[in-house]
Amino acid sequence: MHPDSDLEALMALYQEGDFTAATALVRRLSPQLHRFFVIQFASRREADDLLQETWLRIHQVRHTYRAGEPVLPWLYAIARHIRVDHYRKARRTAAREESLERMPEAAAPPVAPGRIPDLATLLAPLPASQREVIEMLKIAGMSLEEVARATSSSVGSVKQKAHRAYERLRERLSAVGLGAGRAGGPS
């Protein structure tokens, strides 16, 4: 029996609900799919995640496999789509993080005695996680990496929380007539 016809038979059984056949497919094809992802990405963890995502997608779309057709091209088309989706998502995330890094600091509001709310009042309506990030970054003077370690989160998450907090603070300052809008800068 040709090895590909064995795969086709296993896939046909898997489509009919035979999860023993599914287990056999996973055991047989996972090593080569894993190598496919490891070659593309430096991280074994990423390759592991992509492999798992591929098998989940295969399970979801197993009904689209046409019995009698070669299994490997169908399976690798799914794996390539998973890889491309992962690459696009990583690029979007990197672009967002980069734009946050280049984001100008909020302009200091004009000083008007008696009209400026104190810092505690400004920060009070923020969610605790955003307030914590702002306090660590701006009051304690910690770096993004230090805040990420202290809060057990990623640098990207810290940047996102800070960005959202800055937006809310700008809105609050504008509401009390102190907002100068966004700090100007080259576009």
As a whole number of angstroms, the distance between CA 53 and CA 109 comes to: 48
Asked whether 60 and 82 are in contact (CB, 8 A), the reply is: no
- Residue 26 — pLDDT band, cuts 50, 70, 90? very high
User: Environment class of residue 79 by beta-carbon count within 10 Å: exposed (0-12), middle (13-18) or buried (19+)?
Assistant: buried
Nearest to 55, CA basis, from 69, 41, 40, 36: 36
- Residue 53 — pLDDT band, cuts 50, 70, 90? very high
- Spell out the domains of the chain, with CATH numbers in brackets: 3-99 (1.10.1740.10), 114-175 (1.10.10.10)
Whole-number pLDDT of residue 122: 77
As a whole number of angstroms, the distance between CA 3 and CA 18 comes to: 19
Q: Is the pLDDT of residue 8 over 90?
A: yes
Task: Give 96-127 pLDDT, tens digit per residue.
Answer: 777 666 665 554 444 454 456 677 677 778 88
Q: Give the count of beta carbons closer than 10 Å to the beta carbon of residue 112.
A: 10
Helices (H), 68-126: 71-101, 119-123
- Which residues 6+ apart lie within 8 Å of 34 measured at CB? 47, 48, 51
Tokens (6 digits) for 58: 């295969």
Task: Tell me the average pLDDT across 149-169.
Answer: 88
Whole-number pLDDT of residue 117: 65
Q: Is the pLDDT of residue 171 over 70?
A: yes
